[in-house]
Amino acid sequence: MCGLEVHVEDGQVAAIRPNRDDVWSRGHICPKGASLGAVHEDPDRIRRPMIKVDGQWHEVDWDTAFRRCTELLAPVIDRYGIGAVTAYTGNPLAHSFSLARYSAVLLGMSGMPLTYSPGTVDQWPKNLTSHLMYGGWWSFPVPDLERTDLLVVMGANPAASQGSLLAAPDVMGLIRSISERGTVIVVDPVRTRTAERADEWLPINPGTDAALLLAVCHTLFAEDLVDLGTLEPHLDGLETLRTAVADWPPERVSAVTGVAADRIRQLARQLAGTPRAVVYGRIGTCNQEFGSLASWLVDVVNILTGHFDVAGGAMFPTPAAWSVTVQPIPGLEDGAADFGRFRTRVRGAKEVLGQVPVSCLAEEIATPGDGQIRALITVAGNPVLSTPAGHKLDEALPGLDAMIAIDLWLNETTRHADVILPGASPLEQPHHDDLILNFAINSVANYSAPVFARPDQDTPDEWEILIRLTGLCTGTPAEDVDVAAVDDGFFDYLCFTQGLDGAEVRAHYDHGGPERILDLTLRTGPFGDRYGRDPDGLTLDSLKAAPDGVNFGPMVPRIPEVLGTSDAKIRLAPAYLLDDLPRLARRLRRQPDDLVLVSRRHLRSNNSWLHNVGALMKGRDRCTLLMHRDDAARLGLHDGDLVAVTSAGGRIDVPLEVTEAIKPGVVSMPHGWGHGKQGTRLTVANGSPGVNTNILSPPDFLDEPSGNGALNGIPVTVTRAGD
């Protein structure tokens, strides 16, 4: 999302530098953006489609590749029906010009009854709570970093991640400014780089944020600190909430959270007493046993302290282009808690907002019987490394009748495919973010043209690949699908959602594809020209004339217009969430674990897939287990020892890194490692493979209301490997 200058010499990337004139990033860049040249030039990157015959890969032309998809998939559908086919759509989809805008085609029109994604190892608790509270499953309040004076970060490490469900340019620069004019507090079991630069690190026991926040709410009511401001008429459930938090005083949660009762009270007073303050919770508050309660209570605290929908608090952004990725779920309007409309075959996991835990995928493939999954399409995903018990998926994938991957690398997951269909490199396609601009602290639009043409004329874009596979799922051979007709149909549907007639709108264009959709979403967005009705309004053409982007400024209040609830009120105390409080109460009585595992990210990494960039892999081994000095001493372990880490899920051996920057009783591992598998083509990554921490993630350790994986707070034992 940062503005880049890509310098090209002799058809190659000579340098990538930050664009100082970019209206959004103003000269900021992180190592991910700087690596796009290396990604583009990577000799391992797949450039032509590949099919596997008798275990050997062959590069083929596109027509042959699509014919092969048909040969493989059509018989599965004929014999077992579309219910035997599923898809896994991974994280880079959200950032891709084509894939983001066309994922809804595959997911919505293919007829696959159930698909999987990393949503349930990421933000599903937030989808759930936003659906229940605001009637919008992608309506996430975002901390207004530019104008707040007190920032409480819970379970996020923007120094590594650059912010998540919070798009802000130079996020650490903004956080430094908050600290200069006010206070930054980081609530995290690890003293991260973010915590180091904050005014205070508040160590917390993993999985207990909900208990801490309940006690904050308790204090706000008990000390009469609740200040709803102008939000009051738009709230529903205040009295229910007051009753629910009444039996959660700080003393009750102090032991389980590891935070002193006085400090919890003081935190409530700080938040209530600072005119511009905000709590920001992210993946550490989602990927845990009580992710839904924690996500809900982060918002509740912001609301109760008058820091919601106001400058400096948590606000709903106003994206310049509405996101195509976000489509309503039929039958789930108005924040209905009507979940479990279906359950998975093997485990009986209930559907929540159309998703089941991604850890169900392996057993749905491996377990014989009616409804068994026999064909899989992966789109920009590496679930073998990224999802709980990925090693079980690794064992299950060879049992599929057919697997098709849309991906750019031959990695731990795609090595099991029968066909790999590569998209363009990021520099070979235009760019304008889709989903993530919904979480941006400014309303920005920014279009970049492709830097390079694609080498071959016949190469389809990823959106065309998605349309062909969608057609194949509905009975047309992939090679025969009328791509333009499906594209028009999808466009007409998008127009329909805006009350427009697709055929009339299409008359404005001589082309289809994502650029047409982007133009539609800009022109019908809040700053758009409404197809001529507001001649000064935004269009894709006017955006193209502004190569540094257009910034419409900071967030503005949006309540009640943004709410999707039928009474246009925020539901402060949804029954579905209150029903989970007894489970948290039981947690208080549980015997404390000796050691629990949490996850971490690194600045020079992106989940599993930037490890093939040499420049990002320099320096010492990052795939280590962090452990507090006192725990190491107690266990007789030393820095650099190879240790065996064992959980209910499995065991890995990993080098130990002893530190003081972690709460005693907690150990930390990065995810996305475990390269070096036979049959992959990742020269750099395979040279420093690391180990897959998700072997330790038990597939049934979940945040129950959302079905999100609890990848943090996993009980483990650690011994010297070989002992």
Ligand X SMILES: Nc1nc2c(c(=O)[nH]1)N[C@H]1C(S)=C(S)[C@@H](COP(=O)(O)OP(=O)(O)OC[C@H]3O[C@@H](n4cnc5c(=O)[nH]c(N)nc54)[C@H](O)[C@@H]3O)O[C@H]1N2
For ligand X, the binding residue among 135, 158, 237, 430 (CB under 6 A) is: 158
Nearer to ligand X, 246 or 648 (CB): 648
Considering the complex, what minimum distance in angstroms separates the CB of residue 127 from Mo ion?
A: 13
Instruction: Answer yes or no whether residue 136 interacts with ligand X by CB under 6 A.
Output: no
C-alpha of 507 from chain center: 36
How far apart, in whole angstroms, are the C-alpha atoms of residue 20 and residue 590?
A: 53
Among 234-242, 278-286, 490-498, 546-554, which window interacts with ligand X (CB under 6 A)? 278-286
Burial 627-644 (b: 16+ CB within 10 A, else e): bbeebbeebebeeebebb
Q: Which partner in Mo ion, ligand X, none is near 409 (CB below 5 to 8 A by kind)?
A: ligand X
Q: Which is nearer to Mo ion, 386 or 551 (CB)?
A: 386
Least spacing, CB of residue 459 vs ligand X, in Å: 13
CA 377, 379, 384, 387 torsion: positive or negative? negative
- In the set 102, 134, 140, 409, which binds ligand X (CB under 6 A)? 409
Q: Environment class of residue 374 by beta-carbon count within 10 Å: exposed (0-12), middle (13-18) or buried (19+)?
A: buried
Q: Which is nearer to Mo ion, 49 or 291 (CB)?
A: 291
* Among 367, 369, 236, 393, residue whose Cα is nearest residue 300: 236
Of the pair 318, 382, the CB lying nearest ligand X is at: 382
x-or-dash pattern for ligand X, window 446-475, by CB under 6 A?
----------------x-------------
**Among residue numbers 694 through 723, which ones bind ligand X (CB under 6 A)?**
694, 697, 711-713
Q: Which of residues 283-342 bind ligand X (CB under 6 A)?
A: 283-285, 287-288
C-alpha distances (whole Å) from 415 to each of 231, 339, 519 are 53, 35, 37
- The residue type of 710 is A
Q: 124-149 burial, b if ≥16 CB within 10 A, otherwise e?
A: bbbbbbbbbbbbbbbbbbbbbbbbbb
Closest to Mo ion by CB, 103 vs 524, is 103
CB nearer to Mo ion: pick between 122 and 289: 122
Token pair of 509 as six digits: 């264009």
Beta-sheet pairing, 625-628 with 596-600: unpaired
The Cα–Cα gap between 63 and 69 comes to 10
Stretch 588-627 residues interacting with ligand X (CB under 6 A) = 598-603, 605-609
Tell me, by CB under 6 A, how many residues bind ligand X: 64
Q: Residues 141 to 160: which contact Mo ion by CB under 5 A?
A: none
Q: How far is the CB of 342 from ligand X (least distance, A)?
A: 23
- Give the count of beta carbons closer than 10 Å to the beta carbon of residue 309: 24
**CB neighbourhood size of 12 (10 A):** 11
Q: How far is the CB of 668 from ligand X (least distance, A)?
A: 6
Kindly report whether the peptide bond that precedes residue 233 is cis, defined as omega within 30 degrees of 0: no
**Residue 263: C-alpha distances to residues 197, 207, 297, 627 (Å):** 20, 18, 18, 25
122 vs 401, which CB is nearer to Mo ion? 122
713 contacts which partner out of ligand X, Mo ion, none, CB within 5 to 8 A by kind?
ligand X
> Closest approach of Cβ 473 to ligand X, in Å?
18
| Distance from C-alpha of 373 to C-alpha of 80, rounded to nearest angstrom | 9
Binders of ligand X in range 61-90 (CB under 6 A): 90
- Residues 512/490, Cβ–Cβ less than 8 Å: no
> Beta strand 85-89 with 550-554: parallel, antiparallel or unpaired?
unpaired
411 binds ligand X (CB under 6 A): yes
Binding of ligand X by 209 (CB under 6 A): yes
Cβ contacts of residue 354 below 8 Å, gap of 6+? 329
Binding mask 83-122 for Mo ion (x = CB under 5 A): ---------------------------------------x
Total residues binding Mo ion (CB under 5 A): 1
Write the binding mask 623 to 662 for ligand X: x where contact by CB under 6 A, - elsewhere: ----------------------------------------
Q: Which residue is nearest to Mo ion (CB)?
A: 122
Site string for Mo ion, 662-701 (x = CB under 5 A): ----------------------------------------
Give, as ranges, the residues between 20 and 59 that touch ligand X (CB under 6 A): 32
- Does residue 206 touch ligand X according to CB under 6 A? yes
> What distance in Å separates the CA atoms of residue 138 and residue 336, rounded to the nearest whole number?
15
Closest to ligand X by CB, 514 or 528: 514
Choices 183-191, 218-226, 488-496, 505-513 (CB under 6 A): range interacting with ligand X: 183-191
Q: What is the x/- site pattern for Mo ion, positions 120-139, by CB under 5 A?
A: --x-----------------
CA Rg, the chain, in Å? 25
Which H or E run contains 404? strand 402-406
Is 22 or 407 the residue whose CB approaches Mo ion more closely?
407
CA 382 vs. chain centroid, Å, equals 14
Q: Which amino acid is at 160?
A: A
Report how far residue 174's alpha carbon sits from residue 162's, in angstroms, rounded to the nearest whole number: 11
Q: Would you tell me the crossing angle of helices 250-257 and 209-222 to the nearest 10 degrees?
A: 160
Is the distance from CB of 182 to CB of 213 less than 8 angstroms? no
Stretch that binds ligand X, among 153-161, 524-532, 537-545, 547-555 (CB under 6 A): 153-161
For residue 267, count other CB atoms closer than 10 A to its CB: 24
Does residue 382 bind ligand X (CB under 6 A)? yes
Q: Which does 598 bind (CB under 5 to 8 A by kind): ligand X, Mo ion, none?
A: ligand X
Q: What is the spatial distance between Cα 101 and Cα 94, in angstroms, rounded to a whole number?
A: 9
Region for 11 from its dihedrals, namely left if φ exceeds 0, alpha if ψ lies in -120 to 50, beta otherwise:
left
Instruction: Please choose which of ligand X, Mo ion, none residue 423 contacts, taking the beta carbon within 5 to 8 angstroms, the exact cut-off set by kind.
Output: ligand X
- Which residue has the CB atom at the shortest distance from ligand X? 284
Token pair 């549907």 is at which residue? Answer: 493
- Chain positions contacting ligand X, by CB under 6 A: 32, 90-92, 96, 118, 121-122, 154-158, 160-162, 164, 187-190, 192, 204, 206-207, 209, 282-285, 287-288, 380-383, 386, 406-409, 411, 423, 462, 598-603, 605-609, 668, 671-672, 693-694, 697, 711-713
- Chain positions contacting Mo ion, by CB under 5 A: 122
